[in-house]
Amino acid sequence: MSGSNQRIDGKRLWDSLMAMAEFGATPKGGVKRLTLTEVDKAGRAAFTGWCEALGLTMRVDSMGNMFARREGRDPSRLPVLMGSHLDSQPTGGKFDGALGVIAGLEVMRSLHELGITTEAPIELVNWTDEEGSRFGHSLMGSGVWTGVYTQEKCYALADVEGVTVSEALDAIGAKGSIPAKPFPADAYFELHIEQGPILEREGKQIGIVTGAQAQVWYDAVLIGQDSHAGTTPPSARKDALVGAARIITLVDEEMRARGEDGRGTVGQLHVLPSSRNVVPGEVRFSIEFRHPEDAEIKLLADTFPAKAQAIANEMGLKLELTELFQIPAQPFDPSCVDLVRQAAARNGFSAREIISGAGHDAVYVARKVPTAMIFTPCKDGLSHNEAESILPEEAEAGCQVLFEAVVARANRAL
Ligand SMILES: [Zn+2]
């Protein structure tokens, strides 16, 4: 193999991934490590121990975001950040999030073992509550850190048992004294599993992530009239579910009209009154569109509501469509992306450019700090699933790219 003779230790990386997967291990081979629980606390403690064993200095901010710092040669330089998240979905896998944090740990261990001192300091980050599965709000730690959300609002969010984020942070001792807000940093790199099928399908080892998609999300309520299934003839029906079906088909058509870059999903549907012999009088459903280009999302936001309204009108239904938000596309920093590209090429890894289909901490961090992401393939594109699976050599390749990109950035000439 070509590339740097400074290699990360793939076996040590894998062993540590498996060790972290013990915290919240499920019988089906997955992980349940919900944010700010006792299990998360134990995982955080292990992570802290591993970092401190390398002489790294730990800081925890008021959202529980953890930063493990390794000093550089030049104290005036801004730190290069790398990381991801250690929390998981309730039926999550071993690698979503954990890969980026544990690979960052392996980068730190390799620097330590190889006796490398970089010019700039390097900090390894574990962002709190990326998944949003406990408090219903994803990307919380990085969102507060970057100022997308206020801490006050996030502190007040409660889980199903009524425990607030603020209480949960206190309960596991994760509420640090330093404020969760951006500090000057030179760059941020995040390694993550793709959570989709593209790399695997094309036999690529590395995804060079160039940015994240633009999105528009809606809540839809379609109102018709409950009526007897047996006595209401077609001419008298105001069937909200049939209307919803037509709007769902419209969402799919809008997506497919945009080729392989299109995304359009109705993932939630509540049918009322949900009785088998009542024509449904009301349907509540979610709609979201995503696309790499802002212009396409803007076009959808401008035209989709009227098309959906036309369907409702034609069927004598009332449509309430609420736009929840529009997020612009987030391009990553070209110079950071290029370091990922160069590291993959130096090692002879097969690679392709890719747009992130999912939300990631890096997407918010990119608003404040020059950012890039590295994707590795995952089996069958499966994630948020206990069967989530990657190969040790895939983790190793991703970690080697992370290592080389971070070191190159930390040593760059200013
Ligand atoms: Zn993740």
Q: Which H, E and C letters describe 282-336, residue by residue?
A: EEEEEEEEEECCHHHHHHHHHHHHHHHHHHHHHCCCEEEEEEEEEECCEECCHHH
Say how many Å lie between the CA of residue 90 and the centre of ligand 1: 13
Q: What confidence score (pLDDT) does residue 4 get?
A: 66
Helix or strand (DSSP H, E) at 51: helix 38-53
Say how many Å lie between the CA of residue 6 and the centre of ligand 1: 28
- β-strand 278-279 against 263-265: which pairing, if any? unpaired
Say how many Å lie between the CA of residue 185 and the centre of ligand 1: 22
Say how many Å lie between the CA of residue 296 and the centre of ligand 1: 26
Say how many Å lie between the CA of residue 28 and the centre of ligand 1: 20
List per-residue pLDDT tens for the chain, 414 residues long.
445 679 999 999 999 999 999 999 999 999 999 999 999 999 999 999 999 999 999 999 999 999 999 999 999 999 999 999 999 999 999 999 999 999 999 999 999 999 999 999 999 999 999 999 999 889 999 999 999 999 999 999 999 999 999 999 999 999 999 999 999 999 999 999 999 999 999 999 999 999 999 999 999 999 999 999 999 999 999 999 999 999 999 999 999 999 999 999 999 999 999 999 999 999 999 999 999 999 999 999 999 999 999 999 999 999 999 998 898 999 999 999 999 999 999 999 999 999 998 889 999 999 999 999 999 999 998 888 899 999 999 999 999 999 999 999 999 999
Say how many Å lie between the CA of residue 18 and the centre of ligand 1: 17
Say how many Å lie between the CA of residue 97 and the centre of ligand 1: 4
Q: What confidence score (pLDDT) does residue 335 get?
A: 98
41 — phi, psi (to 5°)? Answer: -55, -45
Say how many Å lie between the CA of residue 245 and the centre of ligand 1: 32
Say how many Å lie between the CA of residue 192 and the centre of ligand 1: 7
Task: State how far the Cα of 309 lies from the Cα of 218, in Å rounded to an integer.
Answer: 13
Task: State how far the Cα of 140 lies from the Cα of 126, in Å rounded to an integer.
Answer: 12
Say how many Å lie between the CA of residue 85 and the centre of ligand 1: 6
Residue 112: other Cβ atoms inside 10 A: 14
Helix or strand (DSSP H, E) at 145: helix 140-145
Q: What confidence score (pLDDT) does residue 93 get?
A: 95
Say how many Å lie between the CA of residue 253 and the centre of ligand 1: 29
Say how many Å lie between the CA of residue 361 and the centre of ligand 1: 8
Q: What confidence score (pLDDT) does residue 325 get?
A: 87
Say how many Å lie between the CA of residue 98 and the centre of ligand 1: 8
SS3 for 240? Answer: helix
Say how many Å lie between the CA of residue 335 and the centre of ligand 1: 24
What is the DSSP code (8-state) at residue 78? P
Say how many Å lie between the CA of residue 228 and the centre of ligand 1: 46
